[in-house]
Amino acid sequence: MTAEDQPLLRVRGLEKVFPVKKGIMRRTVAQVRAVDGVSFDVGKGEILGLVGESGSGKSTTGRLILRLIEPTAGSVELEGQDVRALRGEELRKTRRDMQMVFQDPYSSLDPLATVADVVGEPFQVHFKMTRKERDNKVVELLEQVGMGSHHLRRFPAAFSGGQRQRIAVARALALEPKLIIADEPVSALDMSTQSQVVNLLLDLQERLGVAFLFIAHDLSIVHHASRRIAVMYLGAIVEVGDAEEVYARPRHPYSEALISAIPVPDPQAERDRTRIVLKGDPPSPLNPPSGCRYHTRCAYAMEICNTVDPEPTPTVNGGTVSCHLHTSGPMLNGRPISQSLRNTSG
Amino acid sequence: MTDWEAPDTGVDPFVTSGDDRRLDATTEIERGTEGLWTPSSLLTHDDVPSHVGFWKRFRRNKVATVAAIYLILLILAAIFAKQIIPQNPNYQNLLQINMRPSTAHWFGQDDLGRDVFARIIYGARISLEASFLAVALALVVAIPLGLFAGYAAGAADMVLMRISDAIQVIPALVLALVITGILGPSTTNVAFALAVVFAPGFVRLIRGQVVSVREESYVEASRSIGAKPLFIIRKRILHNVASPLIVQAAVTFGFALLAEASLSFLGLGAQEPTASWGTMLTRAFGQVYQAGWLLWIPGGAIAITVLAFNLVGDGLRDALGTETRGA
């Protein structure tokens, strides 16, 4: 593999196990498998959407990549360099290439620091610059995210959620990263502001060629924002594929259920369609189900699903899906779950 | 902050002018046009940085303001005691003992004919000095320890907290008494003993704040940028811990003053003939049947000053309250 075609970010078998400790002796009584063998690639300048419900391990995955949390197992490579092997100063340097935009813009900005301090922080950390130089840089960055220089001396309290998120994006851009991990960057915002921020990210990707790992629980936003989607369930990726494909023709029963939860903006169509309503809560990652982790809630569950964890199977156009429907039973072989299958299994 | 600009008061901040609030979902980003995202007409008084609002909020509390003015005057008097009262506070006039207040001697004269007003002012010097030293020493020790315990967490945190628990189970005054007893009576030793007594409380307070601030995502953001722990503690955590610490320090100052007076009263602090509020009280106590009113003067000074510190503490808490500080 040459340097040209290697992906920007390569995640293989990433795992994080959180011990549950109890009592004064802090004995480990259980383990939460928050992220359980996640693998994916993010290409240069690509936006990969990572969707899944709350508690599926999306955010943890993002933090593991940045090593804000130490992974238990697996590998993370940024341009072929093993991020997990980095220590001290090297890690700090590499962090310049990967930045993060956090979910809640109300807590991701220090309330007692001015915009100049917040956005200028990366320069303060990595370069020796005078205050003046820093402020000039900050003004440039603010322009990139559509904000004016007169905000420089203001405190975060003066801004709306959307503006705060812009400031957070400006901070993430400061070091000209190759990858930005956007952890639910819009879910704390109003509907009207959400699309502004998403459009801003798309615009930045286009102009600056930054790659994004776009984490969200809202499939419609991810579908809009990204070319490729990875669907996560209970700490594992169940389907990866082209955004349009996954959205229109899901291969995994869970993706299908997620998509079916998106309302259709047409009252007639909305009434006519059959929604797949998942029963119950997701199983606890403290005690994940045997076999396929989704079988307890899957409408198509078969015998084999109780015992064997499905391997990823390639789909027709470059994606993968981890589901027994493709390798046994109806033998879908990477084809979408069809309407007929849905009807027969009721 | 001097570079904060007052919002344009000529425009009603809530009246939107024309169509500059088109914030519909499909709006594309227009770079360079400020209006769409930050219509200046939408900027409200939330813009006021916390530092500017602080004095305004503090002044609204009349009682705390009066208390603060009293303390400032007292501190100035203590600093410039020599200029205000050139005479030696230890000058005795045995012909005029236990004299009631007069125009010549505002607070009267004690059992050795010394001017009580002079002694109160010079005594303020000792009392304030000792309290200041005690609080400052406690803070110097507690700030790094508290920050460290809170940020490092784990075993170091646990050990530090258990040590401070151990110190805190002993009643404050008793502990100070023992330490001063061992070190020998002197104002410096009293200050040192009080610092030992106060430090655990400060450590605990700082640690608690750090633990809660550490979980904020702006700290995580700093880490993701690649900031080193010391940078994060200095730039992100310390100032967010400052408000409760300032309040606590003000209140502790009052307690230190009281404790210093108590220890001096018991003979462990300043020694005669040096004037301190505690020793004056002891002295007056011996004259309780001859001139009972003498007790009122150092007693009143202590009570009023401790009260003032507490009131200022309350005022600071209200003015610095984190909930108002954000907005």
Burial class (CB in 10 A: 0-12, 13-18, 19+), A129: middle
Chain A residues with CB under 8 Å of B21 CB are none
pLDDT at A309 over 60: yes
Pick from A278-287, A316-325, B261-270: least confident = A278-287
Tens of pLDDT, residue by residue over B134-155, are 999 999 999 999 999 999 888 8
**Cα separation, A211 vs B23, whole angstroms:** 27
pLDDT number for residue B8: 47
pLDDT number for residue A141: 93
**Cα separation, B298 vs B269, whole angstroms:** 15
Tens of pLDDT, residue by residue over B190-211, are 999 999 999 999 999 999 999 9
pLDDT number for residue B257: 92
Structure token pair of residue B89:
């506070």
pLDDT number for residue A276: 77
Pick from A40-54, A199-213, B46-60, B255-269: least confident = B46-60
pLDDT number for residue A341: 64
pLDDT number for residue B323: 40
pLDDT number for residue A4: 57
Tens of pLDDT, residue by residue over B174-192, are 999 999 989 988 889 999 9
Nearest-Cα distance to chain B for A204, in Å, is 11
| Residue count of chain B | 327
Partner residue opposite A153 with nearest CB, options B3, B29, B327: B3
Tens of pLDDT, residue by residue over B30-54, are 444 443 444 443 444 444 445 557 7
**Residue of A116, A96, A100 whose CA lies nearest to A108:** A100
pLDDT at A345 over 70: no
**Cα separation, B96 vs B101, whole angstroms:** 12
Nearest-Cα distance to chain A for B132, in Å, is 28
Predicted model pTM? 0.77
**Cα separation, A220 vs A49, whole angstroms:** 11
pLDDT at A39 over 80: yes
Residue A233, H or E segment:
strand A228-233
Tens of pLDDT, residue by residue over A65-74, are 998 889 999 9
SS3 of chain B: the string is CCCCCCCCCCCCCCCCCCCCCCCCCCCCCCCCCCCCCCCHHHCCHHHCCHHHHHHHHHHHCHHHHHHHHHHHHHHHHHHCHHHHCCCCCCCCCCCCCCECCCCCCCCCECCCCCEHHHHHHHHHHHHHHHHHHHHHHHHHHHHHHHHHHHHHCHHHHHHHHHHHHHHHCCCHHHHHHHHHHHHCCCHHHHHHHHHHHHHHHHHHHHHHHHHHHHCCHHHHHHHHHCCCHHHHHHHHHHHHHHHHHHHHHHHHHHHHHHHHHHHHHCCCCCCCCCCCHHHHHHHHHHCCCCCHHHHHHHHHHHHHHHHHHHHHHHHHHHHHCHHHHHC
Supply the mean pLDDT for chain A: 86
Does A157 reach chain B within 8 Å, measured CB to CB? Answer: yes
pLDDT number for residue A330: 75
Which of B38, B240, B323 is the best substitution to test chain A (most A C-beta atoms within 10 A)? B38
pLDDT number for residue B68: 93
Rounded to an integer, the average pLDDT of B71-80 is 92
Structure token pair of residue A10:
């390569």
How confident is residue A115, by pLDDT bands cut at 50, 70 and 90? very high
Pick from A217-221, B8-12, B149-153, B318-322: least confident = B8-12
The full DSSP string for A131-145 is HHHHHHHHHHHHHHT
Burial class (CB in 10 A: 0-12, 13-18, 19+), B6: exposed
Rounded to an integer, the average pLDDT of A39-52 is 91
Rounded to an integer, the average pLDDT of B16-28 is 41
Q: Do B25 and A153 touch (CB under 8 A)?
A: no
How confident is residue B319, by pLDDT bands cut at 50, 70 and 90? confident
Closest residue of chain B to A93, computed from CA coordinates: B226
Domains of chain B (ranges; CATH) run 1-47 (no CATH), 48-326 (1.10.3720.10)
Closest residue of chain B to A67, computed from CA coordinates: B224
Q: Do B227 and A163 touch (CB under 8 A)?
A: no
Q: Do A125 and B46 touch (CB under 8 A)?
A: no
Structure token pair of residue A319:
């994606």
Structure token pair of residue A224:
């809009």
The residues, ordered by sequence, that sit 6+ positions from A81 with a Cβ below 8 Å of its Cβ are A94
Nearest-Cα distance to chain A for B2, in Å, is 10
**Residue of B292, B260, B293, B296 whose CA lies nearest to B279:** B260
ipTM for the complex? Answer: 0.83
pLDDT number for residue B1: 41
Structure token pair of residue A98:
């990967």
pLDDT at B324 over 80: no
Q: Do A112 and B325 touch (CB under 8 A)?
A: yes
Tens of pLDDT, residue by residue over A237-294, are 999 999 888 888 888 889 888 888 888 888 888 888 777 777 777 788 788 888 888 8
Supply the mean pLDDT for chain B: 81
CA A332, A335, A338, A340 torsion: positive or negative? negative
**Cα separation, A187 vs B254, whole angstroms:** 48
Residue A49, H or E segment:
strand A47-51
pLDDT number for residue A3: 52
Q: Do A192 and B222 touch (CB under 8 A)?
A: no
